[in-house]
Amino acid sequence: MPHVQYIVRSSVFSLLLLFLVSACGGPDSREIIQEPYESYAPYNRSEASGQNAAVVSGHPLATRAGQEVLRNGGNAVDAAVTMAAILTVVRPHMNGVGGDAFGIFYDDETGEVTALNGSGRSGELASPDFFDDAGEDDIPTEGALAVTVPGAVSAWHEALQTHGTISLADALQPAIEYASEGFPVTPTLVRDFENVTEELNQAGQDIYMPDGEQLREGEILRNPALAQTLQILADEGPSAMYGGSIGQQIAEFIEEEGGYLRSDDFAAHSVDWVEPLQTDFNGMNVYAFPPNTQAIALPMQLTMTEHIDLENMGHNSVDYLHHLIEIKKLAFADRDRWIADPEFEDVPVDELLDNDYLQNRVNEIRSVAARNVSPGFGDEIAHNVTEGDGDTVYLMAVDEDGNAVSWIQSIFSSFGSKLVEPETGLVLQNRGAGFTLEEGHPNQIEPNKRPFHTLSSSLITDADGNFKAITGTPGGDGQTQFKVQVLHNLFTFDMHPQEAVEAPRFRSFDGLSVALESRIEPAVRMGLRGRNHELDIREGWTPTFGGMQIIMADPESGALRTGADPRREASAIAY
């Protein structure tokens, strides 16, 4: 821990007096300096903690609304859906009514952990031939051909119907008000919009570049069309999107733009309750989402770390970081080979999570970085499409009864397809970019198929099945990487939640490329370069490294302690 000296300066007069006394050299002359001491907290944000309930989300306005729901008697699911709806308004480039959502739920009464897949599918017309007729050799990353059916609204409704206590209309009301009346633009939003809003279609620019100019800090951003859409959903329920007027409007727009979705595809949409993946880690149960998401890479990486003495290596040492980076490559090689929609592909989940298999994978790690890593079994294929920094929002809630929700939603890239439907004000996702035209690829596009997803929600219970923690983050294919690092911060190196969130971390990309935060010591960087890692050192608190969030039950008192990442706009409240 660095030591800091503090010089006491009470006024200009006292400084002058000190100078005169020192200059005179009298027996009482002295330099007034406090003794060095260690900082009270190894992080720059205060930890929010409470005895009853906690909420964390990707924006302060959403977090505050989640707390109000809990204070008014709502439960964790009520708070989560309310926050999720607000985030579609205040973080419009990262998530929306035109996107997808996934949730994991903990029921304190039964100890049951369940998972809800709210991702949409391709349309009935989606096929390689459709793209060939459109003159496309690859799946576009933007435009109408990248749009799949948005599933977020159906996920909100299903979560409330199954576990909530308030109506969808009640949950949407705060979001309607922010869309209608507006909210102040933050410096983070200005930064995120820079060089992106110009890529939007005209309807999008009319909303997010009024008068053709970038939004300014403190300016009020309104989206009346989105407010009207949310009000229709409040009045009519999800049927307005799936078979009703909103879905019809979007389908007609996509058809005009050359996409494959039609109104029948919206009407046919459904969400699915699925069994979450579970793995043992440090004597706890870690739950993650099954395919079609990449979340299986989390238990794979955690299990591999159980076969290495990371604690004795030392936190963020050369050995420690090298092994975590190489473990990520091993897990991602298997992820890229196998993960797809399980309704279309036979995904070998049990084999990928087998302890002996993963121990053998760890034995492949060498003292120098591997440029290319093959899957542990099966033919090698091209990589799945993954995000850059990851335009996603994460949120979590624990209520006074001990119920917990881990929730993630996204439109994939920044502003998704770059298409805003003019009448509804909806930004349409580009999740279809997770498909490929490659023959035989598990994610080759087919009708009514879910694409490969990077969204990764998770939840942790102790050995007895009691709630332990929620950790989550946006960040595309960085999500599982960041979680592995933060979980070891918490449970291997006994960091406080906020400390665990703020500790410097890495992000591994393809090949030898690794982004590293500059707060990692220069000697460690040199050691990693000596092992052939190609480092990109990032200064400051950048969104490249996600936006981690934590709610953790203190093992002694049971108090709820939180962590909220300054790398984005994460905000926590507990009481």
Residue positions annotated with a catalytic role:
392
What is the DSSP code (8-state) at residue 488? H
259 close to 145: Cβ distance less than 8 angstroms: yes
Identify the residue whose tokens are 């330099």.
31
Identify the residue whose tokens are 């406080």.
496
Sheet architecture: strand order including 513-517:
506-508, 513-517, 534-538
328 close to 481: Cβ distance less than 8 angstroms: yes
Alpha carbon separation from 119 to 85, 167, 449 (Å, rounded)? 16, 21, 10
| DSSP tally for the chain: helices H, then strands E | 19, 23
Neighbours of 323 (CB within 10 A): 19
3 close to 37: Cβ distance less than 8 angstroms: yes
d(CA 198, CA 392): 20
Classify residue 356 by burial, with Cβ atoms within 10 Å: 0-12, 13-18, 19+.
Answer: exposed
Cα–chain-centroid distance for residue 536? 22
200: its two tokens = 């939007």
402 close to 454: Cβ distance less than 8 angstroms: no
The vertex-281 CA angle with 114 and 105, nearest 5°, equals 15
Q: Which residues contact 258 (CB under 8 A, 6 or more apart)?
A: 134, 143, 144, 145
